[in-house]
Structure 1
Amino acid sequence: MNKFKYYFILSITTLSLFSCSKSDDSVELTPPREYADQYPTDINDIEQYLKTYYVSVSADLDATITKIPDGGTQKSIWDQTEYELKFRTVNLHGIDYKVYYLVLNEGVGESPTNTDAVLTAYKGEYLQQVTGTDATTTLTSTAFEEVKFPQSFFNLYQLTISGGVKAWPEIFPQFKTGTYSANADGSVSYQDFGAGVMFIPSGLAYYSQGQGVIPSYAPLVFSFKLYEIQRLDSDADGIPNYLEDLNNDGYMYDFRSTINYPVTPAVNADDTDGDGIPNYLDIDDDGDGFGTKIEITGADGVVIPFSSIPSCDGNTTDAARIKKYFDKNCH
C-alpha cells in the first residue's frame, strides 16, 4: 500500500513538471509577412543582383552567373546587351510582381501554356543578404539544386495550385522547344531549344516556408533549358488545355482563390460560360448541362479527337455533338 502511494505521488509530481515545462517552453509563432511589405525588399535585391553580377554563356547555352569583382570591367546582367533582359508582370496576392528574365535563346519549336508540362534542365540559386561582423550586409548567391539530364516532366499547372515556384508557369510560355535526335548509345541530343534565366521574387517562390536549404523570403534565380513539352488535359474532357486557351495568349487562370486573387477580374477570357471555372478545368465549358466529353463522343462511343472536328463550314454529319465548338470557335 505504501509502495502504491509512493508511485502515485511520483507520477503526479512528474506530470506536473511536464505540464509546467510545456507551458514555460511554448513558442510564439510569428505570422508570415504581408506580401506587399516583402515584395519591395525582394525586387530591390533582385535588381542589385542584376547590376552587380555578370553572365557567361557556353556554346551549349549553359549560363554561369558571377559577382563582378572590385575594379572588374565585366558588364553586369543589367547593362549587357548580348542577351535581352525582359520582364513579365504577374498579378498575384493583389500585387503586380515584376519577374525579370534573360533570353539566351528563344527556341524554334512550340511554346507551352502555363498549364502544360515541361522537360527542362535547370540550375537554381537563392539570394540572401548576409550581415558581416562589421554590421554591413552583402548580397550573396547560393546554389541549391541542378538537374542536367532531366528524366521527367514538370507539371506547370500543379505549381500554380501548390506551394511551388509560381513564376515557372509565367516564364516558360515565353520560350519554345527545339529539336532533338537519338544517339547510338540511346541518349538524346537537343538543339535549338529555348534557354534563359529567370529572377523570382519570394512571393512567387517559397515565400515564408522556405524549402530544404532555401531560407524563407529568399528570391530565386533559375537558369533553364526547355527541351520538350507535354500537352495536358487537366479536366479530362478530351480537349487538351492548350486548345482551351480561347485568346491563344499561352496563359489560362483560375481566379477562384481569394488569397491569390483578392480582386477577381470582371471577365475571364478563357471561361466560355462565365461560371468562374476556366475551360481547362470545366467539364461543361458551355454550361448547357452536357459534359464536353459527351459532346465530342461519336456514335461509336469513341471520343472524337479535337483535330478531327470539322472546320467551321457547317459541313458535318455530327453537328449536334460538336455544337459546343462551333459556338465557341466559329463566330
Structure 2
Amino acid sequence: MTWKTFGLGLVAAALLTGCKKDENNVLQGEVVPPRDLSEVAAEDEATLQEFLQTHFYNYEEFQTPPADFDYKIRIDTLAGDNAGKTPLIDQVQSRSIQVTEQQIGVGDSETPISHTLYYLTARAGQGVSPTIGDSVLVRYEGTYLDGRGFDSKPNFLWQELPYFLRGYQQGMTELRSGTLEQLVVNPDGTSNIENRGIGMVILPSGLGYFNDSGTGIAAYSPLIFKIELGLVVENTDADGDGIPTWMEDLNGNGYLFDDNTDEDEELKAFTAILRSNFVDADDDGDGTPTRDEIVIDAQGNISFPDTDGDGTPDYLDKDS
C-alpha cells in the first residue's frame, strides 16, 4: 500500500496560495508528474553541497552570545567581509536515509534510493532526543535555500513526528530538547524554555515534498528548517496499545507507515481502512487488543509472549 507522509499540519493551507508559478515554472497547486527519484536525489545533493560550501551561520554569536542575542540561526553568504567565516560544510553532520518511490507515493518501486540529510546543532539542549514516533514541543522556521520563508511558527506548539516530513522528522532525532523545569510562561500567554536545543535541518526534496506542489512548496525543492526543540514526550504511544510508537517500526527503516501486520485482512474489509501498527490497537487483527497480548512489568519493561513458539510474538500472530 502506498502512503504519503507529507507533513500534516507542517504547512498551513494559507501559505503561498494562488496561481503563481514557482521557479520550476509549475503552477502552485498543479499536479506535477514525478521525475526519476534517483536523478532528483543526485541533483539535490549537488545543490546542497554547493550551498553548504558557500554559506555560513552565525556560529560566533552562539559561541559568545551578546547580551541581546535572540538565539536565532541566521545564514549568510561567504563573501566580502564574511569570506573568512567557517562554511556550513565544515560544521554540519550528515546521515544517509533510504527512500523508495512507494514510500513517497510516486511509483511502485521498492528499490531504496540514498538521500543525504544534513543537520547542525547550534546549541545543545539539556534534555533528551526524541524518536521518530514521539510528540515534541517545538517552534520552527522553514525556508528555501535562498532564504525565502514558506512557514514559521514563532510560538511553541505540539507536533506528532510520524506525520511530518521524513527529513524533518529524522533531523529532529539528532537534537536534544530542553527540560520542563526551564519552562517559562509569559504574561501574554507565550512561553519559552530556556535550555531548549537549537538546530537546523537541511534536506533534499526526496525527504521533503518532492513533486507535491499542492501545499504551495515549489516542486523538487531542497529545504531548511531552523528548529527550537522545547520538550519531548518520551515513548509516545500513539494508539495506546502499550507499545511505544518507535517500537512499531518493525523493519527498522525509520518509516512507520509500511509496518502493517494485518494489511491483507484490512484490504479485504468492506471499508478497507488501513491502519499501520503504530495507530492500530490490534496489530494482528485477531480480535484481541495488542495490550492484552504483551506484558508490561512494574518498571515499564515490555515483554512479548510467543504462546505457540513459532518465533512470532502473540501480538503479531493472528494464529496465537
Query: What is the TM-score normalised by the length of structure 2?
Result: 0.63
Mapped partners of 2:33, 2:215: distance in 1: 20
Query: 1: distance between equivalents of 2:227 and 2:293?
Result: 40
CA contact 2:155–2:191 (8 Å) conserved in 1: no
CA–CA separation in structure 2 for the residues paired with 1:110 and 1:219: 27
Match of 2:239 among 235, 240, 264: 235
What is the percentage of aligned positions where both structures have the same residue?
Answer: 27
Deviation (angstroms), 1:204: 1.1
Gaps of at least 5 residues in structure 2 are 1-30, 101-111, 261-274, 314-320
CA distance in 2, matches of 1:251, 1:187: 33
CA contact (8 A) 2:177 2:229 kept: yes
Tell me the SS of whatever aligns to 1:63: coil
Contact 2:33 2:211 in 1 (8 A): no
1:32 aligned to 2:34? Answer: yes
2:84 maps to 1:78: no
Aligned to 1:11: none
Match of 2:23 in 1: none
Q: Deviations over 1:176-197 (max 9, x none)?
A: 2112233462543312222211
**8 Å Cα contact 2:32/2:211 also seen in 1:** no
Q: Deviations over 1:85-108 (max 9, x none)?
A: 111111111211110111213322
- The structure whose RCO (Cα within 8 Å, separation 6+) is larger is 2
Whether 1:114 and 2:132 are equivalent positions in the alignment is yes
Matches within 5 A, 1:110-259: 110-127=128-145, 140-150=146-156, 152-159=157-164, 165-179=165-179, 180-183=182-185, 185=187, 187-210=190-213, 212-230=215-233, 232-242=236-246, 251=254, 253-255=256-258
Give the counterpart letter for 1:154 in structure 2.
Q
Q: Residue 201 and residue 143 in structure 1: after superposition, are their counterparts in 2 closer, same or farther (change >3 A)?
A: same
Distance 2:300 2:240 in 1: 21
1:87 aligns with 2:94: yes
Q: Are the structure 2 counterparts of residues 235 and 55 from structure 1 closer, same or farther at C-alpha, using a change threshold of 3 Å?
A: same
Aligned residues: 242
Distance 1:325 1:282, change over 3 A: farther
In 2, Cα distance between equivalents of 1:256 and 1:242: 11
The runs of 4+ residues in structure 1 deviating greater than 4 Å are 242-247, 249-252, 284-289, 309-312, 325-328
RMSD of aligned C-alpha atoms?
3.6
Seen in structure 2, the aligned counterparts of structure 1 residues 199 and 102 have a Cα distance that, compared at 3 Å, is same
SS in 2 for 1:37: helix
Are the aligned partners of 1:113 and 1:250 in contact in 2 as well (CA < 8 Å)? Answer: no
How far 1:239 moved relative to its partner?
Answer: 3.5
Asked whether the equivalents of residues 114 and 250 of structure 1 are also in contact (C-alpha less than 8 Å), the reply is: no
SS at match of 1:198: strand
Check the 8 A contact 1:122/1:146 in 2, yes or no. Answer: yes
The answer as to 2:291 corresponding to 1:293 is yes
Q: Does 1:98 align with 2:104?
A: no
For residues 301 and 118 of structure 2, the distance between their equivalents in structure 1, rounded to whole angstroms, comes to 40
Distance in 1 separating the partners of 2:172 and 2:76: 24
Aligned match for 2:71, one of 58, 61, 75: 61
Query: What residue is the counterpart of 2:305 in the other structure?
Result: 324
Q: 1:182 to 1:237 in 2, by over 3 A?
A: same
What is the rounded CA distance, in whole Å, between the counterparts of 2:177 and 2:73 in structure 1?
18
Cα 1:52/1:281, change in 2 over 3 Å: same
**Cα contact 1:173–1:250 (8 A) shared by 2:** no
Question: Structure 2: how far apart are the matches of 1:284 and 1:309?
Answer: 24
Asked whether the equivalents of residues 248 and 259 of structure 2 are also in contact (C-alpha less than 8 Å), the reply is no
Residue of structure 1 in register with 2:17 after alignment = none
In 2, the alpha carbon distance for the partners of 1:189 and 1:126 equals: 26
Structure-2 separation of matches of 1:221 and 1:44: 16
